Amino acid sequence: MQNRLIVLVMLMLVGAGSAAAATTRPQNTVRPTIAGVAKQGELLTADPGTWSGTQPLTFAYQWWRCDSNGNNCSNIIGATSKTYTLTSVDVGNRLRVRVRASNSAGASNATSLATAVVAAKTPKSLALDTSQSTIVYGGTVTLSGSVANGQAGESVTIVEHRLPSLGGVQVQTVSTVQTAANGSFSLEVRPLIHTLYRASAGQTTSNAVSVQVRPRLQLTRIAAHRFLVRVVAARSFVGRYGLLQRWSLKRHHWTSVRRVFFTRALAASPTVVSRAVFRARLGGARIRVLIPRSQTAPGYLMAFSNLARA
């Protein structure tokens, strides 16, 4: 009898231990959520929410693409991680994520609320500006610009378009620069003739900026009443002329005296120096040489020299 009692007590203890060791399936108490901006190219991150049930719990994810009202959802193939990057296919739709929690007792599912309607990615834009629109030959210009909706360290290629072509070259790449953290960039250039500049980053191209160039005129006295005028540019001015002008104290304006023809040129690529020597005896008047628009070389504006006394 005593032995039977001992066996009965042991069986009761084993049963109590088994009940204590029983496991419970996961139950969702706070539904899953989605963090992130609902915009093409952005990263969404799922939070599994809060679950009860025997530990440990493991979670699996399945992202759904729904209509614009958050209904009629379907699985996004391959989207089974905790994060998801929105694509162009998602634009105009809402997304949900289904979380499946599992433990030794089984598994349960819970679904998040829908995101906002996914917006299209803001298109990249590229703007270009110049520090000067007109320079004298040999001078420099700073091109500056910015890439909107781009990335830091993005490559921007600067291209120049010469008007007209120079040395058989009309369009060529000047340089490639990298954008700063705020998308800005800058580059110093030295245009040889009238030039248009554009910037491009991938498939995005900027507006064109124009830089006009004046030839550099240098007037020098080389002897009594004898002067040398040089035109510095990337083209020869031989066969063209400048206008010798004197300043009228009575009328307070410049008066043309005569033409001065350029007869010789020395070249040191890309620069060409055209020369003219002339005499002037004008009673100590201030003089200069002007190249009118009709006599300037292709790609150049009219220009005038420094002043001298004749």
Give the CATH number of domain 125-213. 2.60.40.1930
Domain 215-309 in the same topology as domain 23-111 = yes
In this structure, are residues 244 and 164 in contact, taking their beta carbons and an 8 Å threshold? no
CATH no. for 23-111: 2.60.40.2700
For the stretch 223-265, pLDDT in tens is 999 999 999 999 999 999 999 999 998 888 999 999 999 999 9
Neighbouring-strand partners of residue 84: 44
Q: For residue range 79-94, what is the model confidence (pLDDT) as tens digits? A: 999 999 999 999 999 9
- Whether residue 272 contacts residue 240, with contact meaning beta carbons closer than 8 Å, is answered with no
Q: What is the DSSP letter of 123?
A: P
Q: What is the pLDDT of residue 3?
A: 55
Average pLDDT on 109-119 reads: 97
Over residues 2-21, the pLDDT tens digits come to 555 554 545 454 444 444 45
- CATH number of the 215-309 domain: 2.60.40
Token output for 120? 């299209």
Cα separation of 275 and 262, whole Å? Answer: 5
Nearest C-alpha neighbor of 219 from the set 265, 271, 264, 260: 260
pLDDT for res 150: 79
Q: Checking DSSP bridges between strand 134-136 and strand 209-214, what pairing results, if any?
A: parallel
Report the chain's mean pLDDT, rounded to a whole number: 93
pLDDT at 122: 86
The structure's pTM equals 0.70
Q: Is 277 helix (H, G, I), strand (E, B) or coil?
A: strand
Question: With 70 as the cut, is the pLDDT of residue 1 above it?
Answer: no
Phi, psi (rounded to 5 degrees) for 115: -70, 175
Q: Tell me the C-alpha distance between 158 and 135, whole Å.
A: 19
pLDDT of 45-91, one tens digit each? Answer: 999 999 999 999 999 999 999 999 999 999 999 999 999 999 999 99
Considering the chain, what percentage of its residues have pLDDT values greater than 90?
Answer: 86
Predicted pLDDT at 10: 52
pLDDT (0 to 100) of residue 250: 83
Question: Residue ranges of the domains in the chain?
Answer: 23-111, 125-213, 215-309
